[in-house]
C-alpha cells in the first residue's frame, strides 16, 4: 500500500476508531497493551483492504455503517 494511502487512512477518524477497536481486541488477547503504533501497522496490513472494499463501495455514504450480512 502506498505511503500516501496509509497517510490518508490514518487521518480518517473512522479508520482511527477501527484501529482503536483492533488495538483493544488484540491487547485483550495478549493481556497487555500493544500500543496504537503496532495496532495501526497490523490493521493496515491485515484489515485495511477489507475496510476499503466496504467503504469505497458504490452507494456507501460517509458515516454510514456497513450492513451485517
Domain that holds residue 8: 3-55
Report whether 36 contacts 19 (CB < 8 A).
yes
pLDDT tops 80 at residue 21: yes
Domain membership of residue 24 (yes or no) is yes
pLDDT in tens, 32-52: 999 999 999 999 999 999 998
Residue-level pLDDT at 60: 58
55: nearest Cα among 15, 10, 7: 15
**Using CA atoms, how far apart are residues 39 and 21, in angstroms rounded to an integer?**
9
pTM over 0.85: no
Residue-level pLDDT at 4: 86
Domain count of the fold of the chain: 1
Domain membership of residue 67 (yes or no) is no
Amino acid at each position: 500500500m502506498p505511503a500516501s494511502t496509509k497517510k490518508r487512512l490514518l487521518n480518517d477518524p473512522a479508520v482511527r476508531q477501527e484501529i482503536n477497536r483492533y488495538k483493544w481486541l488484540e491487547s485483550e488477547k495478549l493481556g497487555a497493551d500493544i500500543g496504537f503504533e503496532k495496532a495501526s501497522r497490523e490493521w493496515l496490513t491485515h484489515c485495511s483492504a477489507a475496510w476499503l472494499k466496504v467503504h469505497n463501495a458504490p452507494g456507501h455514504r460517509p458515516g454510514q455503517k456497513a450492513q451485517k450480512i
